[in-house]
C-alpha cells in the first residue's frame, strides 16, 4: 500500500521535475551583432573557466537582417537555478526577444522560449521563479519596466503589468530579500526608481531619487544594505555614489557621495558575495579596480588593485565567486584578444592577478555580461546529495519510506504516513532555495 501511494504520486510529478547545476557555473552573454548567444563554464580548481556549452539565441548574415535574438546583452538566472533569462539589443524594427534558456545539471543549456517585445530588452531580473522584470528601453523616449509571468510547465511568458521609468533606463536589479526592484534613468533626468512587486506581479512606485551625476549603471549589494550608481563621464568622469537601503528598501545617499575612482568613466560594479569588497568597472580606460567596503557606513576606499582589459570600451562585465573575479573582454581590436578572464583577488591588498594570462574563448561574439551561479549548500529534498532536485530524489524518498527510515519523516511527527508524502512533494515542487 505504501509503495502504491508513493509510486502513483511519483508518476504524476516526474515530468515536472526541475534541474540546476550542482557546481559553481559561470554564464556569459555574448552580445554579437551577427550572433547572440550564451556560454556556460565550469570552474577548475585554480579558478580557470572551462567551457561546457554554448546556445545561440539568434543569428543573421547581416546586421540589416531582422533578428530579435541577436545582441544578447543582459542575463539573469532564476532563484532555483533552472532557467536563464536574456535580454537583447539587436536594433530590429519588430523589437527584441526575452529568451528563456533551461540549464541542465551538467551545465548544458537549451533554448526553450522567445517572447517578442516591441523595444530593446536592455536589462532584466528575476523577481522570483514566476515573475520576471524586464526593461523596455528606448533612447530619450518613454521607457517602461514590464513584469512578465513565466509558466515553466506551459513554457509561456505573459505580461502582467508595466510602469514608466524614465527616458533612458538601462539596468534593473532586485533586492536580495524584498520584492523590490531598482531602475536607473540617465536620460533627460538623472534618477533611480524603486518599485515593489506584489504577489500577483503588480507594480507600485516606491521612490524616485535624483542624483548629481548619471546613474549610468547600478548594482545591488548581495546583503541588501546598499545600492551603487556609476557616474560615467559625468561629474568629472570619476564619480560613483552609494545609497544606504532601509529595512523596507528605501534609498538614502551615503555621506561622502559621490566617491572618486582613479579609473575613468565608472560604468558598473561587482560586489563580492560576502559584501566586503567592491569592484568598479570603467568604460574609458577599460579597467576594473578594487575597493574595500566599510560596513555599516557604506564608505568605499580604493585599494589600488587594477586590471586593464585594453582598448577603451572593451571591458564587458564582471562577477565574483570565492577568491576569483571573472571579467569579459569584448573585442579583439588592437591586441587580438577576446573572451573571459579569471583574476585572483588578494583580499588583504586588493591586488588582481590574472589566473588566465589570456582570456578563455567563449566561442561567442562580443562577450558581455557575466553571471556566476553558486548552488545552494544543502536542501532537504536533495536526498541523493548531488545538489540537484530531480526524479532520483523521488526514488530515494520512495526507498527510505518503504524501509521505514526516519529520514522520510518530513512532518517530524515520528510516524511515516501519507502526510509525509504530501510534505515531501510540497518541498520537492518548490525546489532548492
Q: In what order do the strands lie in the sheet with 25-31?
A: 49-59, 35-43, 25-31, 367-373
pLDDT tens digit sequence for 233-272: 999 999 999 999 999 999 999 999 999 999 999 999 999 9
CATH classification at residue 241: 2.130.10.10
**What is the pLDDT of the chain when averaged over all its residues?**
92
Tell me phi and psi for residue 236, to 5 degrees.
90, -5
pLDDT in tens, 152-199: 999 999 999 999 999 999 999 999 999 999 999 999 899 999 999 999
Same domain, 313 and 338: yes
> Are both 304 and 384 inside the same structural domain?
no
Asked if residue 395 and residue 347 are part of one domain, the reply reads: no
Region for 256 from its dihedrals, namely left if φ exceeds 0, alpha if ψ lies in -120 to 50, beta otherwise: left
Name the residue range of residue 329's domain. 25-373
Examine the domain organization and report whether 95 and 7 are in the same domain: no
pLDDT of residue 281: 98
Residues 6 and 132 in one domain: no
93 CB neighbour count, 10 Å cutoff: 8
CB atoms within 10 A of CB 192: 25
Give Rg (Cα) of the chain.
22
- Confidence category of residue 284, pLDDT binned at 50, 70, 90: very high
Instruction: Output the pLDDT for position 8.
Output: 47
Cα angle 65-66-70, degrees, rounded to a multiple of 5: 95
The answer to whether residue 355 sits within a structural domain is yes
Average pLDDT over residues 291-303: 96
The CA distance from 358 to 324, in Å, is 15
Reply yes or no on whether the pLDDT at 86 is more than 80. Answer: yes
51 and 165 both lie in a single domain:
yes
Number of structural domains, the chain?
Answer: 2
In a domain? residue 20: no
Same domain, 348 and 399: no
pTM of the full structure: 0.86
pLDDT of residue 390: 83
Amino acid at each position: 500500500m505504501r509503495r502504491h501511494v508513493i509510486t502513483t504520486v511519483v508518476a504524476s510529478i516526474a515530468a515536472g521535475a526541475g534541474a540546476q547545476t550542482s557546481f559553481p557555473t559561470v554564464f556569459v552573454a555574448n552580445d554579437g551583432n551577427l550572433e547572440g548567444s550564451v556560454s556556460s563554464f565550469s570552474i577548475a580548481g585554480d579558478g580557470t573557466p572551462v567551457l561546457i556549452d554554448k546556445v545561440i539565441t539568434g543569428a543573421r548574415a547581416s546586421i540589416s537582417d531582422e533578428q530579435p535574438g541577436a545582441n544578447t546583452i543582459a542575463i539573469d538566472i532564476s532563484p532555483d537555478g533552472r532557467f536563464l533569462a536574456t535580454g537583447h539589443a539587436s536594433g530590429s524594427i519588430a523589437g527584441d526577444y526575452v529568451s528563456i534558456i533551461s540549464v541542465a545539471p551538467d551545465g548544458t543549456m537549451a533554448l526553450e522560449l522567445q517572447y517578442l517585445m516591441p523595444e530593446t530588452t536592455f536589462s532584466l531580473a528575476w523577481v522570483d521563479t514566476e515573475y520576471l522584470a524586464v526593461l523596455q528601453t528606448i533612447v530619450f523616449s518613454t521607457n517602461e519596466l514590464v513584469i512578465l509571468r513565466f509558466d515553466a510547465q506551459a513554457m509561456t511568458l505573459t505580461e502582467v503589468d508595466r510602469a514608466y521609468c524614465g527616458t533612458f533606463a538601462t539596468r534593473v536589479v532586485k533586492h536580495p530579500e524584498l520584492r523590490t526592484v531598482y531602475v536607473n534613468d540617465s536620460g533627460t533626468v538623472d534618477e533611480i526608481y524603486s518599485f515593489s512587486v506584489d504577489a500577483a506581479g503588480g507594480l507600485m512606485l516606491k521612490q524616485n531619487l535624483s542624483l548629481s551625476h548619471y546613474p549610468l549603471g547600478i548594482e545591488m549589494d548581495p546583503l541588501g544594505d546598499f545600492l551603487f550608481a556609476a557616474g560615467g563621464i559625468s561629474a568629472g568622469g570619476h564619480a560613483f555614489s552609494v545609497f544606504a537601503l532601509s529595512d523596507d528598501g528605501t534609498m538614502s545617499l551615503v555621506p561622502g557621495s559621490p566617491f572618486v575612482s582613479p579609473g575613468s568613466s565608472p560604468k558598473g560594479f561587482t560586489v563580492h558575495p560576502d559584501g566586503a569588497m567592491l569592484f568598479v568597472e570603467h568604460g574609458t580606460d577599460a579597467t576594473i579596480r578594487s575597493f574595500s567596503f566599510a560596513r555599516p557606513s557604506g564608505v568605499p576606499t580604493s585599494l589600488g588593485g587594477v586590471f586593464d582589459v585594453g582598448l577603451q570600451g572593451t571591458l564587458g562585465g564582471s562577477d565574483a565567486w570565492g577568491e576569483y573575479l571573472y571579467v569579459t573582454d569584448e573585442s579583439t581590436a588592437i591586441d587580438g584578444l577576446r573572451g573571459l578572464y579569471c583574476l585572483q583577488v588578494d583580499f588583504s591588498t586588493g591586488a588582481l592577478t590574472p589566473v588566465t594570462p589570456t582570456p578563455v574563448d567563449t566561442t561567442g561574439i562580443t562577450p558581455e555580461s557575466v553571471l556566476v551561479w553558486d548552488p545552494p549548500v544543502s536542501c532537504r529534498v536533495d536526498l541523493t546529495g548531488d545538489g540537484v532536485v530531480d526524479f532520483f530524489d523521488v526514488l530515494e524518498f520512495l526507498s527510505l519510506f518503504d524501509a521505514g527510515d526516519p529520514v522520510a519523516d518530513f512532518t517530524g511527527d515520528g510516524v511515516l504516513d501519507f502526510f509525509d508524502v504530501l510534505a515531501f512533494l510540497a518541498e520537492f515542487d518548490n525546489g532548492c532555495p
